[in-house]
Structures are given as C-alpha cells and as structure tokens.
Amino acid sequence: MRLALFDLDNTLLGGDSDHAWGDYLCERGFLDAVAYKARNDEFYQDYLAGKLDNDAYLNFCLEVLGRTEMATLDQWHLDYMRDCIEPIVLPKAIELLAKHREAGDKLVIITATNRFVTGPIAQRLGVETLIATECEMVDGRYTGRSTDIPCFREGKVTRLARWLEESGYSLEDSYFYSDSMNDLPLLEQVANPIAVDPDPNLRAEAEKRGWPVISLRD
C-alpha cells in the first residue's frame, strides 16, 4: 500500500489553521486581541519566511491551553471548526484525498500545528492517521507545553521515520503534498514530491528540481 502524505495548512486548507485559531480566540475576546494578534502575525510571517523560532512559537500558542478548562476548550473548538475551518476546506483537496483513497493508498496528514487544533480537522477530512506536534497533558489537562519532537522541518522527517518503523509502511512510491519550503526536508525523502500552491521559495525549488506544481484553489 502506497503512502500519500499531506501537509495541512495552506495545502489541504485554504489558510493556516494555527493562525486561524489565534484569530478566533482574539475575535471572541478570549485573549488580548491587540497584543496576541500582533505577536501571532509576527510568528506567521517568520514561518512564511522560513525563519520561525518554533520553540518560542509553541510556548506562545500553547499557553492558552494550559490555563483553560477542557470543557471550555472543546466548546471553543466546535465553534472554531464551524466558523473558521469549514469556510477554508478546499473542494479540490477533498477530491484529491478521495482519489488517493480510491486508489487504495494510506492517507496521512503530517503537520507542524498541534494535535488539539488539528485532530478534529483531520477527522473532518476523513483522514485517520495524523502526525502532529503533541501537547503535553497531566491529569487530564493541558500543561501549555509541547511534548515529543515538534513536527516541523527536520522534525517531520524524524516523526515520520518513527511512525514508519511502528506501522510497517515504507516510503516506496510515496507521495507528499506541501505548500511550504519548510517541508523541503520531507519532500526530499519521498518518491513523489508535489508542491501545492507553493510559497515563492518552494515554487523556485520545485521548478529547479522538476517537481510537479499543482493548485487546489483554481
């Protein structure tokens, strides 16, 4: 069975789920809108430029999980899915997932965004296997810290390698779809790297290497 790996943000979604989560919290008044949004936007620009300090970002974005009751977080996430995620689910992404599913491929979403945010999104997209940045939990509550290797840049390669060993799958004839130059380390590992609505740096790299470039937004 072939592997079909998918980045999530700006690949299967027409936006960034992590950034949208921060915007949702600010717009609903759950966070200091001015201070949080300014910092969130700064981190997002660093991500797009390929210079994100991921440790600093995780400390920033997971802090709210550590000081909020689970029941409240779950309700917020339901509203967030309805208001922020459903509008950016791309019909062509659904078609692409269906194409690989019908071909008998194993679908995996692999994302730097944390599992709290992305778990329900993967379910919405019908993808059972999710490799994401993990949020630490103690006694049934989030601590506001991450655990394990963040699923970002080379960390995606490391986390995937562990999953491959545990699951018995291999990268033979595998696919990976991504929009971001940050995913170059993993794109270099698969048999079929595909740039999806890529950022300028990845577009240039894909053209140089002869990788397919597609759009799910046309």
Tell me the catalytic residues.
Answer: 7, 9
Query: How far, in Å, CA of 164 to CA of 144, rounded?
Result: 28
Number of H helices and number of E strands within the chain? 9, 7
Q: Where are the beta strands (DSSP E) in the chain?
A: 3-6, 106-114, 129-138, 141-147, 175-178, 192-196, 213-214
Return all residues near 25 (Cβ < 8 A) that are at least 6 apart. 31, 36, 64, 76
Question: Residue 54 corresponds to which tokens in the numbers above?
Answer: 């991921």
Return all residues near 103 (Cβ < 8 A) that are at least 6 apart. 2
Q: What is the DSSP letter of 73?
A: H
Query: How far, in Å, CA of 65 to CA of 123, rounded?
Result: 21
